[in-house]
């Protein structure tokens, strides 16, 4: 009985027999050491994560104004949440964000998966593509919007230059509401498809080649192999990357802040931009904080729900 | 047509051409689709590089002649321009953030992986570290502004180093932990039995073995810190106190854009990172796939 139980006793202070007395004293002393080793990490979290989060909660339940350069707060209860949720501009911004998130997540996943399948099958360009296709993901969002502004701008934009030289009418891509919205989706897709591609490619490379070979020998065509074998195997990876992209697109800020500033007419006013404007232009600290907390709660609920569903599925499944 | 093909494959010695042609055609399609994807990836980058070497009148012009010129870069370096100071700030922020993340990430990763810290401490810490990447950074700006203001760190690179560090630490700690988890426990026990202290084990046994992890974390964190914009925008007053990304944004004034300079500064911000992506591809892939999960 005792040998199989040995690992379990490890957590109690009872020493496992083969380790020398000196080593055990070090092992038990390591608990204090572990706290010391974690202190810098904990200090950072408390000062720069816990405190601002607490501050956000405090702002959300108080009526805070600037009086003579100092913040003055008075208890406001849930009033800020009511203001935030009934605000028409916030509602429109939320709808735009939902459309943006669905489009960006969907398109980057389809494109990233397609690229991964292509690179996995390619011979000549596989090496070069694996390198080049991730470049957008390492470029700063600020630079990405600069690059796309240089393409989309009505005066100097490369796209209009091409259109003009082949005799087509030029477009003010960022001037119309629809054009601006499509533009920020295109920019986001260009920027972040590489991340999906990397995930999907790693997942594809993890598939046992013998499984694919077996399907091929059984007479399955390429499309059947992808649809019936590959996709079911990498489905957990697809769900994981979908969650990652979901969080990324809810957080999107830099590109739109520079490319469209939320305009024209609020057509690209994503929720992060709206919160910035509440905080810094309108100085509506309470509603801004309430809206922030609501967004964080929704994000946590979606991500947490997906993780719980995955765990339930894994436990409930046959294997 | 299809019937003859089927019969062909059934004959004992099938001619190789009809079987390989569809596959080869699929191969050509694959390669051309990839070439198109690479082209789309490269066009915005190449266009920016091209404009960086053009004078403004050639940029605004609709014609296709390109009189190459390095004046945009020369303009950035003129005395009185904030470019060099911003470049220095960005480099300082990258250096400080990377050193802090590597140091704290590896020590904390080691503690979490091997030293069995008490659960009442790790559970809330890891919960918070898991929550932080889900929070839009924009929402924390007011609280962080107050924090930096109280610490007297507003407007300088040190404050930005600390903020960049905290937002990259969850990733750094968890990735280092997963690398350290892979080291066999026997190595540590053997070193303990031989009388090595925890510090000695950490520096002489663990760190050399997790060098790939340090490289992945270091490169990923450097890129994130170099690219960071929001905190640079909100925690400095711009000009010579700001990082390079904020300098780029400052050139994007609605009615008076100096396009050539904008392209040039974009090239300075993008090309070093792309060069890094070419050289250290393997580490970047490791960092991006792990970093995206945590971030």
pLDDT computed for residue A69 by the predictor = 67
Residue of A34, A100, A257, A258 to mutate, testing the B interface (most B Cβ within 10 Å of its Cβ): A34
Q: How far apart are CA A115 and CA A124, in angstroms?
A: 15
A162 inside domain: no
Does the beta-carbon distance from B117 to A31 stay under 8 Å?
Answer: yes
Smallest CA–CA separation between B73 and chain A, in Å? 16
Q: Is A253 on the interface with B (CB under 8 A)?
A: yes
Task: Name the residue in chain A with its Cα closest to that of B295.
Answer: A244
Does the distance separating the beta carbons of A22 and B104 come in below 8 Å? Answer: no
Choose among A37, A85, A50, A79: nearest CA to A62.
A79
Nearest to B288 among A42, A131, A195 (CB): A195
The CATH number assigned to the domain holding A117 equals 1.10.3720.10
Express each pLDDT in B111-146 by its tens digit. Answer: 998 888 888 888 888 888 888 888 888 888 888 888
Q: A167 — phi, psi (to 5°)?
A: 85, 15
Return the minimum-mean-pLDDT range out of A40-49, A260-269, B281-290: B281-290
Task: Please identify among residues 99-128 of chain A the ones whose CB lies closer than 8 Å to any CB of chain B.
Answer: 115, 118-119, 121-126, 128
Tell whether A86 is covered by a domain: yes
Residue A146, in any domain of the structure: no
The whole-number pLDDT of residue A191 equals 94
Over range A47-57, report the average pLDDT.
Answer: 89
Most confidently predicted of A1-15, A17-31, A198-212, A304-318: A198-212
pLDDT in tens, A276-293: 888 888 888 888 889 999
The C-alpha of B230 sits at a distance from chain A's nearest C-alpha, in angstroms, of 7
What is the DSSP code (8-state) at residue B61?
A: S
Question: Given this model, what pLDDT does residue B2 score?
Answer: 40
From the candidates B62, B104, B135, B188, which should be mutated to test the interface with A, based on the most A CB atoms within 10 A?
B135
Lowest mean pLDDT among A115-124, A261-270, B151-160: A261-270
Residue range A222-239: mean pLDDT, rounded = 88
B266 → closest Cβ in A143, A202, A285: A143
- Whether A165 maps to a domain, the answer reads no
**pLDDT value at residue B258:** 81
Mean pLDDT of chain A: 83
Interface subset of A 209-228, CB within 8 angstroms of B: 222
Can you give the pLDDT at residue B21?
A: 62
pLDDT at A300 over 60: yes
Q: What is the pLDDT of residue B22?
A: 62
Q: What is the pLDDT of residue A25?
A: 47
Q: Is residue A52 part of a domain?
A: no
Q: What is this model's ipTM?
A: 0.84
pLDDT at A15: 45
Residue A192 domain flag: yes
Res A113 pLDDT > 60:
yes
Taking only residues 75 to 94 of chain A, the set having a beta carbon closer than 8 angstroms to any beta carbon of chain B reads none
Chain A hits for B43, Cβ within 8 Å: 151, 158
pLDDT of residue A4: 39
Which pLDDT band holds residue A245 (cuts at 50, 70, 90)?
very high
- What pLDDT does A17 receive? 46
**Rounded-to-integer distance, Cα A50 and Cα A191, Å:** 31
Closest CB to A190 among B44, B118, B165:
B44
Query: A51 lies in a domain?
Result: no
Using 50, 70 and 90 to split pLDDT, how confident is the model at A141? very high
Q: pLDDT at position A119, please?
A: 92
Residues 6+ apart with CB under 8 A from A181: A96, A99, A100, A267, A268
Pick B193's closest partner by Cβ from A23, A247, A272: A23
Which residues of chain B are within 8 Å of residue A137 when distances are taken between CB atoms?
A: 288
B138 and A137 within 8 Å at the Cβ level: the answer is no
Chain A interface test: which of B124, B174, B266, B272 (most A C-beta within 10 Å): B266
3 state DSSP class of B243: coil
Q: Which residue of B has its CA nearest to A117?
A: B30
Cβ distance of A19 and B189 shorter than 8 Å: yes
For chain A positions 126-185, those within 8 Å of chain B (CB to CB) are 126, 128-144, 146-151, 155-156, 158, 161, 164-165
A 10 A CB-CB count for A202 gives 17
Residue A13: the pLDDT is 46
pLDDT at B108: 93
Neighbour tally for B190: CB within 10 Å: 14
Task: Supply the DSSP string of chain A, one letter for each residue.
Answer: -HHHHHHHHTTSSPPPTTS-HHHHHHHHHHHHHHHHHHHHHHHHHIIIIIHHHHHHHHHHTEEEEEETTEEEEEE-TTHHHHHHHH-HHHHHHHHHHHHHHHHHHHHHHHHHHHHHHHHHH-SSSHHHHHHHTTHHHHS-HHHHHHHHHHHH-TTT-HHHHHHHHTTPPP--TTTSHHHHHHHHHHHHHHHHHHHHHHHHHHHHHTS-HHHHHHHHHTT--HHHIIIIIIHHHHHHHHHHHHHHHHHHHHH--HHHHHHTTT-STTTT--HHHHHHIIIIIS--HHHHHHHHHHHHHHHHHHHHHHHHHHHHHHHHS--
Return d(Cα A10, Cα B240) in angstroms, integer: 56
Contact between residue B117 and residue A31 where contact means Cβ atoms under 8 Å apart: yes
Contact A248, A64 (CB under 8 A): no
Can you give the pLDDT at residue A8? 39
Which candidate in B33, B45, B134, B255 is best for mutational testing of the A interface (most A CBs within 10 A)? B134
**Contact between A45 and B284 using a beta-carbon 8 Å cutoff:** no
Binary contact (B138, A50; C-beta < 8 A): no
**Residue A260: predicted pLDDT:** 84
Residue A270 located in a structural domain: yes
Residue A189 sits in which domain range?
Answer: 79-139+174-316
> Number of structural domains, chain A?
1
Interval A30-52 mean pLDDT: 87
Ranges of chain B with pLDDT below 50: 1-19, 294-295
pLDDT exceeds 60 at position A28: no
Q: Which residues of chain B does A136 touch, with a Cβ-Cβ cutoff of 8 Å?
A: 41
Q: What is the pLDDT of residue B3?
A: 43
Nearest beta carbon to residue A34 from set B116, B169, B248: B116
Least confidently predicted of A3-17, A140-154, A285-299, B47-61? A3-17
pLDDT at A2: 36
State how far the Cα of B194 lies from the Cα of B281, in Å rounded to an integer: 39
Q: Which domains does chain B have, with CATH numbers?
A: 81-294 (1.10.3720.10)
Which of A144-158, A176-190, B4-18 holds the top average pLDDT? A176-190
**So what's the pLDDT on residue A36?**
87
Render pLDDT for A200-224 as a digit per residue (tens, 0 to 9).
Answer: 998 898 888 888 888 888 888 888 8
- pLDDT tens, residue by residue, A59-110: 888 887 777 666 777 787 787 888 888 888 888 989 999 999 999 999 999 9
Return the residue matching tokens 């979490």.
B112
């Amino acid at each position: 009985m005792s040998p199989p139980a040995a690992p379990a006793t490890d957590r109690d202070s009872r020493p496992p027999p083969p380790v020398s007395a000196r080593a055990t004293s070090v092992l038990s002393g390591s608990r204090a050491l572990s706290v010391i080793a974690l202190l810098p990490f904990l200090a950072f979290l408390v000062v720069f994560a816990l405190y601002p989060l607490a501050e956000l909660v405090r702002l959300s339940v108080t009526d805070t104004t600037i009086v003579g350069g100092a913040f003055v707060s008075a208890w406001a209860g849930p009033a800020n949440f009511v203001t935030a949720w009934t605000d028409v501009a916030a509602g429109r911004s939320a709808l735009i964000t939902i459309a943006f998130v669905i489009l960006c997540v969907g398109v980057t996943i389809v494109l990233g998966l397609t690229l991964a399948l292509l690179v996995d099958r390619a011979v000549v360009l596989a090496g070069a593509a694996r390198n080049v296709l991730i470049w957008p993901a390492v470029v700063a969002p600020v630079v990405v919007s600069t690059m796309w502004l240089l393409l989309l701008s009505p005066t100097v934009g490369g796209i209009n230059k091409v259109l003009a030289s082949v005799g087509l009418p030029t477009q003010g891509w960022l001037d119309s509401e629809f054009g601006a919205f499509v533009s920020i989706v295109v920019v986001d897709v260009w920027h972040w498809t590489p991340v999906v591609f990397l995930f999907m490619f790693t997942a594809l490379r993890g598939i046992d080649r013998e499984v694919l070979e077996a399907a091929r020998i059984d007479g399955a065509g390429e499309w059947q192999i992808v649809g019936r074998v590959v996709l079911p195997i990498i489905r957990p990876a697809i769900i994981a990357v979908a969650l990652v992209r979901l969080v990324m697109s809810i957080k999107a800020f830099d590109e739109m802040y520079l490319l469209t500033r939320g305009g024209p007419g609020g057509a690209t006013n994503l929720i992060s931009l709206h919160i910035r404007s509440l905080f810094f232009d309108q100085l509506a600290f309470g509603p801004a904080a309430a809206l922030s907390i609501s967004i964080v709660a929704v994000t946590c609920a979606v991500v947490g729900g997906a993780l719980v569903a995955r765990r339930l599925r894994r436990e409930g499944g046959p294997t | 047509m299809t019937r003859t093909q089927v019969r062909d494959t059934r004959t004992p010695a099938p001619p190789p051409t009809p079987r390989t042609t569809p596959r080869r055609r699929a191969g050509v399609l694959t390669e051309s689709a990839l070439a198109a994807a690479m082209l789309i990836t490269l066009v915005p980058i190449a266009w920016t590089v091209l404009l960086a070497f053009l004078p403004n009148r050639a940029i605004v012009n609709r014609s296709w002649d390109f009189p190459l010129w390095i004046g945009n870069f020369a303009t950035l370096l003129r005395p009185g321009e904030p470019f060099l100071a911003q470049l220095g700030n960005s480099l300082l922020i990258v250096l400080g953030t990377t050193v802090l993340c590597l140091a704290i990430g590896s020590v904390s990763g080691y503690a979490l992986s091997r030293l069995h810290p008490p659960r009442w401490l790790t559970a809330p810490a890891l919960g918070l570290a898991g929550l932080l990447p889900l929070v839009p950074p924009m929402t924390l700006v007011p609280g962080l502004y107050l924090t930096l203001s109280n610490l007297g760190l507003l407007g300088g690179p040190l404050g930005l180093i600390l903020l960049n560090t905290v937002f990259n630490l969850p990733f750094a700690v968890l990735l280092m932990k997963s690398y350290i988890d892979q080291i066999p426990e026997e190595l540590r026990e053997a070193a303990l039995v031989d009388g090595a202290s925890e510090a000695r084990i950490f520096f002489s046994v663990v760190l050399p073995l997790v060098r790939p992890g340090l490289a992945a974390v270091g490169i990923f964190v450097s890129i994130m810190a170099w690219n960071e914009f929001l905190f640079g925008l909100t925690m400095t007053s711009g000009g010579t106190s700001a990082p390079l990304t904020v300098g780029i944004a400052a050139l994007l004034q609605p009615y008076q854009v100096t396009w050539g300079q904008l392209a040039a500064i974009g090239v300075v911000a993008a090309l070093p990172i792309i060069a890094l992506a070419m050289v250290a591809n393997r580490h970047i892939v490791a960092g991006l796939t792990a970093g995206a999960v945590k971030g």
